[in-house]
Amino acid sequence: MRFLTRSLLAVLLAAVALGLLGLAAVTVRGALEERAAAERAAPMARERIFTARVVTIQPGEIAPELAAFGEVRARRMLELRAPFAGRVVEIAPGVENGAPVRAGQVLIRLDPADALAARDLAAADLRRAEAELRDAGRSLDLARADLAEAEAQADLRRRAYERRRTLQERGVATEAAIEEAELAFAAARAAVITRAQAEAQAEARLEAAETALERQRITLAEAERRLAETEIVAGFDGVLSDVAVVEGGLVGVNERLARVIDPDALDVAFRLSTAQYLRLLDDAGALIPAPGEAALDLGGHEIASPLRLARASPAVGEGQTGRLVYAELLAPRGFRPGDFITVRIAEPALQGVALVPATAVDAAGGVLVLGEDDRLEEGRVELLRRQGDMVLIRAHGLNGREIVAARTPLLGAGIRIRPQRDEAAAVPDAPAMVTLDPARRAALIAQVHANAFLPDQVRSRILDQLEADEVPAQLIERLDRGGRGG
């Protein structure tokens, strides 16, 4: 009986223990299922608010800036060439690339021996021509004197003949005397003709001598010019370039020896599209003298010079488009021909336009306008010019409104944003900070505490940031997206 009692008691205790174990298992399983259901539950839907920078459309008068790339060219340049073949006998000191020269300075001297000989021969021929001219002049004087004497003799013979005829009429003279007087008169006339021919020949000789003298003077002037050309001089003040001559070297006819460039007379040649060129014309179709600036980048340092539009190329090159425009550099210090520079031209001012970031306008001219309750609306603007990272627009009906400065795929019509204006983004490197109201701050702190996936260090850092007076806008945006925040 005692054994049966103990056996029943043992069975009872075993049943109680099994029941307690089953209850515990059911309790643990229920807790695990409840926790898993809580984790799988969808979070409460919340509208996503993005932070976006906005700018205000403020129309006014703006002069667009036209940018192009051009090349510096010399407006005044002289090529020094050899006028004839010869040997270089002298090069002036300092004749080298980049050396300054003065107008009239002798730079190179060619061998003058042949030129001196030619000049001396021309001078001798000139003296001989002068002597021939003097001899011809004397011969002409003598011929004229002979002619005058012959004419006087003929006059005497004529009077003698007439006197004999008068005497014959009176019956005094004989027929033989009259014939003798007539023959003498005819011989005198023949002598006059001979002397006239001699005078004509003397005049022709004189004219030929004068012509020969003039030719010899021209020959002498040519020889002196050729002798002067043995000295190659600078035509104006400038700088030497492309010097390609050595003392003692032989040069050919018209061979280029060097160039002289005026560093103070430089132009900039740059090509514009036809549309850009048309914007620089006045009502008469002439190129306006628009001001501008030329800049040369020297690797971190930039030199600049004001410029003024001067002229345009009269024709378009084969296979090219647009217009080639030339501008005059007004302060060319530091620039050299061949420099590749940036040209910025001020176009005529436009009225009622605004300057906004290029990222604010899409390809179709659409913008996102900030509306009521900080929600975005679609808008349209007229795109006029592109100015680097900015664009000039004309916004009909949007003057004074705020638009998103940088469009992204996340932003569109109806999206609510947290506008970040220029005052908050004055320092680009500093993160945007936002001041939270107590309810918003408490909701974010509770959200961080409820996130079981956050490491303790990350949670502590986020809570410290949320408890500060100003909270980074990026952190709030991440928390709104359901992320870990940082």
C-alpha to C-alpha distances, 140 to 149, 189, 202, 206, 368, nearest whole angstrom: 14, 20, 5, 7, 108
The topology (CATH level 3) of 65-111+230-348 is: OB fold (Dihydrolipoamide Acetyltransferase, E2P) (2.40.50)
**Letter string b/e over residues 277-316, b meaning 16 or more CB atoms within 10 A of that residue's CB:** bebbeeeeeebeebebbbebeeeeeebebebebeeeeeee
Q: What is the pLDDT along the chain (486 residues), one digit of tens a residue?
A: 666 777 777 777 777 777 777 777 878 787 777 777 666 555 555 778 888 899 999 888 888 888 899 999 998 999 899 988 889 999 989 888 888 999 989 999 999 988 899 999 999 999 999 999 999 889 888 888 888 888 888 888 788 877 777 777 776 667 777 777 778 888 888 888 888 888 889 888 889 999 999 999 999 999 999 998 889 999 889 999 888 888 888 888 989 999 999 988 999 999 999 988 998 998 888 899 989 999 998 876 788 899 999 999 888 878 888 899 999 999 888 888 889 999 999 888 888 899 999 999 988 888 999 888 888 989 899 888 888 888 999 888 888 889 999 888 888 888 888 888 865 443 344 456 778 888 888 888 888 887 765 666 667 778 878 888 788 877 777 777 654 444
Give exposure, 171-187, as e/b (b: 16+ Cβ within 10 Å): eebeeeeeeebeebbee
> Who's near 68: CB < 8 A, 6+ residues apart?
270, 271, 272, 276, 342, 343, 345
Per-residue pLDDT of 278-335, as tens digits, reads 989 988 888 999 899 999 988 767 888 999 999 998 888 788 888 999 999 998 888 8
Q: In this predicted structure, what is the pLDDT of residue 423?
A: 53
Q: Helix/strand/coil (H, E, C) string of 106-148?
A: EEEEECCHHHHHHHHHHHHHHHHHHHHHHHHHHHHHHHHHHHH
Task: Output the pLDDT for position 440.
Answer: 83
What is the DSSP code string of 61-108? EE--EEEEEEEEEESSEEEEE-SS-EEEEEE-TT-STT-EE-TT-EEE
Residue 184 to residues 56, 128, 146, 157, Cα–Cα distance (Å): 127, 43, 18, 6
Q: In sequence order, what are the beta bridge partners of 56?
A: 402
- Would you state the pLDDT for residue 182? 76
Spatial distance between the Cα atoms of 133 and 210, rounded to a whole number of angstroms: 6
**pLDDT recorded at residue 34:** 77
pTM: 0.58
pLDDT digits (tens, 9 = 90+) for 137-170: 898 888 888 888 888 888 887 888 777 777 777 7
Q: What is d(CA 281, CA 287) in angstroms, rounded to the nearest whole number?
A: 5
pLDDT digits (tens, 9 = 90+) for 374-394: 889 898 998 888 888 889 998
DSSP bridge partners of 51: 418
| pLDDT reported for residue 324 | 93
> Would you identify the CATH topology of the domain 44-64+350-426?
2.40.420
3-state secondary structure of 323: strand
